[in-house]
């Protein structure tokens, strides 16, 4: 991935001062505004947006504009300062994407691993094979339940691969696990905690709400193709360093590149078969031959941007059909590390509520943030929504009560620092990452991914192979950019052995199943039971 650099002289960025003044005067109608003209408007400066711009640059197309809501690029790869070290300097923690998924001796290397090495991103093996187990009485060894689920999970995943080959109708993961022999009582809270750790913690949704075949396929495609390990990013520059590093190869480093519009909130998108006009909340606008929308599924679902004309019914249905999960990490720093140092993960089985602060991870160990005394809890789905609605103090006291149950022999103190994001309140995200709901076919996903006239879509949610993963956004941004290049240069594009010329396919009428050969033809999925 090598880039050249050029600035289109017709691209004029209205700076913050002028924007502020412009916003307080009478605005011309959208039809009468004089807009900055460009060839491609890229909506969003996250991983997909930057890789789309890379693809354009690689093809010597430099006439594009990136419009980003926030004051920096990275999107849901979001880090922040937290607490302080022994020298009074803050630690850096990741609110959003935190792991390199699929590291090791796979069939090929995860492109994010390649970028991490290129930009010297500090990361460390996060071994989840050993977790200490607790309940309301303190340490309680239920490792045998973890072992049982591991065997069942392996069998269930083989079943999912065979279902894919046989073109069997999809069901939810709950059914898939039950057919493989896992059917715990709802009041067996240790089994519920083990199940959460093995499914919800990855999908940000319960087995009841998740597709069995597609949930298994996305996980296995990542780990079978790239490698079995997860590495946690602990770089003081933040995970977004790899996105910023790649962007710096084609955007100006010394001064603000006029093709990057930060602090720019898109409010309206007017698309047709000939062009796309993007209107921003501050009154500025961009007129482009094509646009690539990399907004999160949550933004699209919450009508944060108005489309003119309204998106067709098949597109709206696909957007609303898929689910946006919420994965919330809650960080606590203490004046000491009072928890065991021989493990990094601690699983808690609440006596009453599934998914109630079920997992804690220590960062205060070698390779992570040693001697930082930082611990973080993770909640997803309904529990994540619940903690977002309550105050920091309420959440803090709930977590301290759990920790005091887990470690009754310790005098668990008040934390010296406490912080967590509220993903569903962030208007540029409205959630963490997507999940594939039960009963949703590949045809429906193709509708989510398909372009509407000159308006194209990319992001982790549009990846059938890697939805929910950051590398899914990398692949999708690159592919959308290459599609636009092919259109601009009047040629066809070959992706996964399938030749496409022009628009992506969509389905006005959906069918109950998707032919199995479509998985390979569209997504390059290997049709074997390892999937």
Give the start-end residues of each E strand in 44-186: 64-67, 79-82, 91-94, 99-103, 123-125, 132-135, 138-139
Q: Is 194 annotated as a binding residue?
A: no
**Within the chain, how many helices (H) and strands (E) appear?**
16, 24
Contact 246, 54 (CB under 8 A): yes
Token pair for residue 50? Answer: 């930057």
Contact 216, 256 (CB under 8 A): no
- DSSP H or E stretch at residue 195: helix 189-195
Give the start-end residues of each E strand in 160-252: 229-233
477 Cβ neighbours under 8 A, 6+ residues apart: 47, 48, 49, 50, 51, 52, 54, 55, 292, 294, 458, 459
Distances (CA, A) of 3 to 67, 229, 246, 277: 20, 31, 9, 27
Measured distance CA(196)–CA(378) in Å, rounded:
11
Q: What are phi and psi of 143, to 5 degrees?
A: -60, -30
Measured distance CA(480)–CA(293) in Å, rounded:
10
Token pair for residue 480? Answer: 């959308």
Contact 464, 522 (CB under 8 A): yes
Q: What are phi and psi of 94, to 5 degrees?
A: -105, 115
Q: Which residues are annotated as a binding site?
A: 266
- Going by the annotation, the residues of the binding site for FAD are 266
């Amino acid at each position: 991935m090598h880039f050249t650099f050029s600035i289109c002289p017709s691209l004029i960025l209205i700076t913050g001062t002028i924007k502020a003044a412009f916003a307080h005067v009478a605005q011309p109608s959208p039809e009468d505004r004089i807009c900055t003209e460009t060839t491609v408007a890229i909506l969003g400066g996250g991983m997909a947006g930057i890789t789309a711009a890379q693809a354009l640059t690689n093809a010597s197309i430099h006439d594009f504009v990136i419009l980003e809501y926030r004051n920096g690029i990275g999107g849901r790869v979001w880090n922040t300062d937290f607490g302080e070290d022994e020298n009074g300097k803050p630690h850096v923690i990741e609110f959003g994407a935190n792991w390199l998924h699929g590291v090791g001796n796979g069939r090929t290397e995860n492109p994010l691993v390649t970028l991490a090495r290129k930009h010297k991103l500090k990361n460390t093996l996060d071994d989840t094979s050993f977790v200490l187990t607790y309940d309301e009485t303190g340490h309680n060894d239920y490792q045998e339940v973890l072992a049982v689920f591991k065997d069942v999970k392996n069998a269930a995943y083989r079943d999912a691969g065979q279902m894919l080959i046989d073109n069997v109708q999809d069901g939810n993961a709950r059914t898939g696990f039950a057919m493989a022999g896992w059917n715990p009582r709802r009041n067996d809270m240790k089994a519920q905690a083990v199940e959460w750790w093995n499914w919800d913690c990855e999908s940000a949704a319960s087995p009841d709400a998740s597709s069995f075949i597609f949930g298994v396929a996305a996980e296995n495609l990542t780990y079978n193709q790239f490698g079995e390990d997860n590495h946690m990013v602990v770089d003081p520059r933040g995970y977004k360093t790899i996105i910023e590093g790649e962007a710096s190869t084609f955007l100006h480093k010394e001064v603000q590149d006029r093709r990057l519009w930060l602090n720019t909130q898109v409010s309206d998108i007017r698309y047709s078969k000939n062009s796309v006009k993007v209107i921003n909340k501050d009154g500025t606008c961009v007129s482009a031959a094509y646009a690539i929308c990399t907004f999160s599924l949550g933004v699209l679902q919450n009508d944060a941007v108005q489309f003119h004309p309204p998106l067709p019914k098949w597109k709206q249905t696909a957007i609303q059909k898929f689910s946006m999960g919420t994965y919330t990490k809650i960080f606590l720093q203490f004046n000491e590390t009072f928890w065991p140092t021989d493990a990094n993960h601690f699983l808690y089985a609440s006596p009453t509520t599934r998914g109630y602060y079920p997992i804690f991870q220590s960062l205060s160990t070698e390779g992570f943030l040693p001697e930082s005394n930082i611990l973080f809890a993770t909640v997803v789905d309904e529990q994540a929504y619940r903690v977002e609605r309550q105050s920091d103090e309420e959440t803090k006291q709930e977590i301290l009560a759990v920790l005091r149950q887990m470690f009754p022999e310790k005098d668990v103190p008040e934390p010296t620092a406490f912080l967590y994001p509220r993903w569903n309140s962030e208007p540029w995200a409205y959630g963490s990452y997507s999940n594939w709901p039960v009963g949703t076919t590949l045809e429906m996903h193709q509708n989510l991914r398909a372009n509407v006239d000159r308006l194209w879509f990319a992001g982790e949610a549009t990846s059938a192979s890697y939805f929910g993963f950051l590398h899914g956004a990398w692949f999708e941004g690159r592919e959308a950019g290459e599609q636009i290049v092919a259109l601009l240069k009047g040629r066809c594009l070959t992706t996964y052995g399938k030749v496409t010329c022009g628009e992506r396919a969509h389905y006005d009428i959906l069918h109950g199943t998707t032919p199995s050969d479509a998985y390979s033809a569209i997504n390059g999925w290997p049709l074997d039971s390892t999937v």
